[in-house]
Amino acid sequence: TQGLNISALKVSKKIKTLYPKDFKEEQTTVWSFKQRGNWATHSGEYRGNWSPYIPRNVILKYSNPAELVLDYFCGAGTTAVECKLLGRSCIAFDINNKAIELAKKECRF
């Protein structure tokens, strides 16, 4: 497996908006989002990724700023990007080297 430490990445990407508009933390056990989410570097181009609203909600509910989040199946880095935006450290792993390279790219902002 390969991994990445988001705090070690250098900035290489300009983004238009850092945060979702009108975000409200989910309060029920059924979550529904009107759109996938495309703030920061989130794009949905990687096969099998999930809406960034999901890790954003989980990170806010179960961690505090500056804490460490481990992502063992990082894919394109959706969770790592949200950790960076929310002030958490993240160590992310994936068996797919192409996914790791994409996650590194997505976290450079």
What six digits make up the tokens of 56? 């954003």
- Structural domain contains residue 66: yes
Query: Do β-strands 2-5 and 89-94 pair in parallel, antiparallel, or remain unpaired?
Result: antiparallel
By C-alpha distance, which of 48, 49, 60, 47 is closest to 19?
60
| Structure-block tokens of residue 48 | 């099998």
Assign residue 100 the CATH number of its domain: 3.40.50.150
Residue 93 lies in a domain: yes
Residue 13, pLDDT > 90, answer: no
Residue 26 within a domain = no
CB 86 within 8 A of CB 92: no
Q: Is residue 69 part of a domain?
A: yes
What is the number of domains present in the chain?
1
Give domain status of residue 27, yes or no.
no
**What integer is the mean pLDDT of 3-18?**
64
What residue ranges in 49-104 does DSSP mark as E strands?
Answer: 68-71, 89-94
Residue 65 lies in a domain: yes
pLDDT tens readout for residues 37-69 = 888 888 877 777 889 999 999 999 999 999 999
Q: Pick from 4-13, 33-42, 88-97 the range whose average pLDDT is largest.
A: 88-97
> Does residue 41 sit within a domain?
yes
Q: Is residue 20 part of a domain?
A: no
How many of the other CB atoms lie within 10 Å of CB of 85? 19
Q: What residues make up the domain containing 97? A: 2-9+36-106
